[in-house]
A = this chain, B = another copy of it.
Amino acid sequence: MGKRKTTPLKDYAPDGHHCSLELKTSKLGMVSFFRDLKQEDLDEIVKRFSATHYREGAEIYYQGDPANYLRVVVDGAVKLLRYTDEGKDVVLDILEPGSYFGSLKLLGSDVYTESAVAQSGCCILSVGLKDFREILQEYPSVGIAILEVSAEKLRSSQEQIKQLTTEPVETRIANILLTLTEKFGENKKEGTLIQLPFSRKDLADMAGTTTESASRVMSNFQKEGIIETGRQWVALKDIKKLRTIIED
């Protein structure tokens, strides 16, 4: 167990030099509802988006704000959450590059029902809803594709409901680790590093439990050699064993 001295996570430079036009275009092309467009159409569409950089922890929008933009993650990770009156946070999703978020309320106006926070330094593309409506008009295939993505989001949300009501904390956490690995995993000498700063509290808010319980589960996982973990980082060492826990 070679003890590390510094976090294995890479630092995101928030200066924006990452986010070239090519990167923007290529990430936009990754969003599944733009995936089928020709390169020239994509080039046209990307012009309507504007890019913004956020530092780790920055609020992109807050629940209750007027919802006038559709956004796409180009680089980094975005956390969607609800702050409750009782002071408990509920993390709804952590988005990887290529995911969209924000508003789809194309008719009338609306207000965000969740908050969006930069989980790492990140680059976000955004488009006003009026512009997006025009895009939909011009490229009808986008409308159909976006429907599918929305349906998929609903599904994963329902899966979460199922897990909350039927699975114990340990299984839920195992599932989260697996999902995060798929989204943000980077292969290193030993195991897969989840390239994303996230704390026990984040994990707890994702699993619908407390920091302490999340911590206990993670300690056990480490004892069993399933993961290696430090402050704000986790690396998966034994995915097979993790899968066993999920399948019970």
Residue ranges of A at the interface with B (Cβ–Cβ < 8 Å):
82, 84, 86, 88, 90, 92, 103-107, 113-114, 133, 136-137, 140, 143-148, 150-151, 153-155, 157-162, 164-166, 208
Nearest chain B CB to A144 CB, angstrom units: 5
Q: In the assembled complex, how far is the CB of residue A200 from the closest CB belonging to chain B, in whole angstroms? A: 16
- Please list the 4 inter-chain residue pairs (A to B) with the smallest Cβ-Cβ separation, ordered nearest first: A165-B208, A150-B150, A143-B143, A157-B157
Give which listed residue, B82, B88, B164, contacts A208 with CB less than 8 A.
B164
A93 to chain B minimum Cβ distance, whole angstroms, is 9
Complex A-B: 28 CB contacts under 8 Å:
A82-B158, A82-B162, A84-B162, A86-B166, A88-B166, A90-B161, A90-B165, A92-B158, A92-B161, A103-B151, A104-B147, A104-B150, A105-B148, A106-B147, A113-B155, A113-B159, A136-B143, A136-B144, A140-B143, A143-B144, A143-B147, A147-B147, A150-B150, A153-B154, A154-B157, A161-B208, A164-B208, A165-B208
A208 / chain B contacts, CB cutoff of 8 Å: 161, 164-165
Q: Given that A113-B155, A155-B113, A165-B88 are contacting pairs, would A144 and B133 also be in contact in the complex, using a CB cutoff of 8 Å?
A: yes
Contact B164–A107 (Cβ < 8 Å): no
Whether A104 contacts B151 in the complex (CB less than 8 A), given A164-B208, A166-B84, A166-B86, comes out as yes
A154 to chain B, nearest CB (A): 5
Closest CB in chain B relative to A139 CB, distance in Å: 11
Return chain B residues, CB-CB under 8 Å to A154: 150, 153-154, 157
